[in-house]
Structure 1
Amino acid sequence: MDTEPRTVRANGIAQAYRVRGPADAPPVVLLRARGADGSDRAGIAPAPAARPRRVYAPDLRGHGGSDRPGGYAYEAVRDDVLALLGALGTCRTTGR
């Protein structure tokens, strides 16, 4: 994984993420339980990236380098992840 997080604005907040693997490879998203940040996935990221895959490890809202908006419902986290992937061009979302 990149040691420095990248940041994109999606779902109304700044979201930090780390990335590894070729830009044109199929994406894999590594999510963790609520806590810490995407850097804790650095140890497992090389395996999927070696296939090749483009591996993303986001910092969920309120963690790591992402904004702390004060609302942490699972639906908000879901919407953040979908918006992040849409902003990165890895998938198209249908809005909620």
Structure 2
Amino acid sequence: MRASDVIIITGAAITNDTVDGLLRHIPAGARTAIVGPTGSFLPDAFFKKGVSMVSGAQIYNADKALDLLSQGGRAHHLYGTCARKINLSPL
């Protein structure tokens, strides 16, 4: 990561407890994105740590999402019917 000017970290780094260690090794001036459904649940906390962008999902029809998921639906079933992909940047 030392020579990188763009770093992309998946939301899995949040769930496996490695995100803080990864963020500590980001070189000065590098733009950093956290991507994936779990990445967007606390964007301000990541922005305070220097993350440039957080990408994730926004559910706009919770009833439809729960119905699809209860029938074994996966993420690709949600997009376009009750969820959309979003990108957030600090103000």
* TM-score, structure 2 normalization: 0.32
| Structure 1 or 2: more helix by fraction | 2
Question: Relative contact order, CA 8 A, sep 6+: which one is greater?
Answer: 1
Structure possessing the higher radius of gyration over alpha carbons: 2
* TM-score, structure 1 normalization: 0.31
